[in-house]
Amino acid sequence: MGQPDQGDEAAKPPLGVGMVGYAFMGSAHSQGWRTAGRVFDLPRRPVLAAVCGRDERAVRAMADRHGWAAAETDWRSLIARDDVDVVDICTPGDSHAEIAVAALAAGKHVLCEKPLANTVEEAEAMAAAAAEAAGRGQMSMVGFNYRRLPATALARSMVAEGRLGTLRHVRVTYLQDWLTDPEFPLTWRLRRDKAGSGALGDLGAHIVDLAQYLAGETLGGVSALTETFVRRRPLPAGASAGLSASGPARDSRTDDVTVDDAALFTARLASGALASFEASRFASGRKNSLRIELNGERGSLAFDLERLNELAYHDHTEPAARAGFRRILVTEPDHPYLDAWWPPGHGLGYEHTFTHQARDFVQAVADGRPPTPSFADGLQVQRVLAAVEESARKNSTYTPVAV
């Protein structure tokens, strides 16, 4: 697709978006919705109709900053609006199921951030509601944005073309370090009742989905370890035990961390290939380091989010004397998503994944074609996360090895 003519853009039928949640992920989604129709020639014009949050002053400020036409403080009111066609859910996981099921029942299309829910049971209810709504022409999608990088989309097409042959190994790590300070306050991401799990759901959901997407196979047979390194943290300023705010300020009281800080697990792909995963928010020096490598009988692919415009490829069919990993600079107009962006060599960034996500969702709604990843895909990831937690519980006893 080329860039749209702005006169033609104004004449396109609008697609009203209502977003629930306005913090970090809400800002990222706002950027995507605001930009998609200005970059890609879409069949419908995304309109930022309303954003919703419980803090009236904060959500109004967010609406003004990002260009939302209205602000709501009750998600039920947002769903009931006639100018909202799509409900975009960017809240903590404990509210995903209730909002999504209600939005689908109200006839809306739904985009929901990952992980789909906090439990398998919630995810099952969401997937069932989505399947029923699909019969009425409503679309549902999970926001696994790392599928929308040109480099990972290219990697998927290369695997599908058979460039790696039969897969043997998949290795994935997703490492951050924002929790290494034991004085960092107890935000909602560290409470099971709000987040469902810790690094496992926050980071592990991404890498489970990305590994399955790139391999074109599902995972099974996990064996896992998890750990919580700092078990009590200061409460955020103004919070009470059992209810944490989201800011970095803290007071002198503490409460329990009820999620994992790190998760390590192995699994098998449906083909029999081996896979290993590591998700941690305690990896000092790693800010947002996602790395994946796929090894097959005919070659290998490797991707590093810190070099997100590049894909490493090894063709194992070449003579050893000149074989080795080579860098593919993924900035050509023939690469996924890049026909509407900048000249070759001018790289994209993290925020563009949300523009591509909005583009794909609008196109699916206009075409009446189910988007991916679906709620059923999100449910499958949720089942893997639950299996990891169950395995980790069984493996929780440390037994020293005799020497």
Q: What pLDDT was estimated at residue 398?
A: 72
For residue 9, pLDDT over 80 is answered with: no
List, in order, residues 6 or more apart from 173 with CB less than 8 Å away: 207, 277, 278, 279, 289, 290, 291
User: What does the pLDDT look like over 94-131, one tens digit per residue?
Assistant: 999 999 999 999 999 999 999 999 999 999 999 999 99
Confidence of residue 250 (pLDDT cuts 50, 70, 90): low
Asked if 281 contacts 249 with a C-beta cutoff of 8 angstroms, the reply is no
Confidence of residue 14 (pLDDT cuts 50, 70, 90): very high
Distance CA 182, CA 92 (A): 23
User: What does the pLDDT look like over 284-305, one tens digit per residue?
Assistant: 999 999 999 999 999 999 999 9
Q: Count of alpha carbons within 13 Å of 194, Cβ hemisphere only?
A: 15
Nearest one of 118, 172, 170 to 280, comparing CA atoms: 172
Q: What angle do CA 81, 85, 86 make, to 5 degrees?
A: 110
Confidence of residue 3 (pLDDT cuts 50, 70, 90): low
Q: What pLDDT was estimated at residue 302?
A: 98
Reduce the DSSP state of residue 17 to 3 states and report it. strand
User: Where is average pLDDT lowest: 122-126, 225-229, 238-242, 380-384?
Assistant: 238-242
User: What does the pLDDT look like over 124-180, one tens digit per residue?
Assistant: 999 999 999 999 999 999 999 999 999 999 999 999 999 999 999 999 999 999 999
For the chain, the straight-line distance linking the first and the last C-alpha, in angstroms and rounded, comes to 63
Confidence of residue 239 (pLDDT cuts 50, 70, 90): low
Confidence of residue 249 (pLDDT cuts 50, 70, 90): low
| Domains of the chain, residue spans | 6-145, 150-307+309-348+382-391
Task: State percent of the chain over pLDDT 70.
Answer: 94
Mean pLDDT of 196-201: 97
Q: What pLDDT was estimated at residue 36?
A: 98
Pairing of strands 299-304, 274-280: unpaired
Q: What pLDDT was estimated at residue 28?
A: 98
Distance CA 334, CA 339 (A): 7
CATH 3.40.50.720 fits 6-145, yes or no: yes
Predicted model pTM:
0.93
Confidence of residue 244 (pLDDT cuts 50, 70, 90): very low
Nearest one of 279, 288, 289, 338 to 309, comparing CA atoms: 338
Q: What pLDDT was estimated at residue 300?
A: 98
User: Where is average pLDDT lowest: 3-12, 91-100, 337-346?
Assistant: 3-12
- Can you spell out the DSSP letters for 310-340? EEEEEETTS-TTT---EEEE--STTSTTGGG
| Residue appearing with tokens 């099952």 | 124
According to CATH, the topology of domain 150-307+309-348+382-391 is Dihydrodipicolinate Reductase; domain 2 (3.30.360)
Tokens coding 302: 């490797």
Q: What pLDDT was estimated at residue 397?
A: 77
Q: What pLDDT was estimated at residue 237?
A: 82
Tell me the average pLDDT of the chain.
Answer: 95
Confidence of residue 243 (pLDDT cuts 50, 70, 90): very low
For residue 365, pLDDT over 80 is answered with: yes
Distance, CA of 320 to chain centre: 38
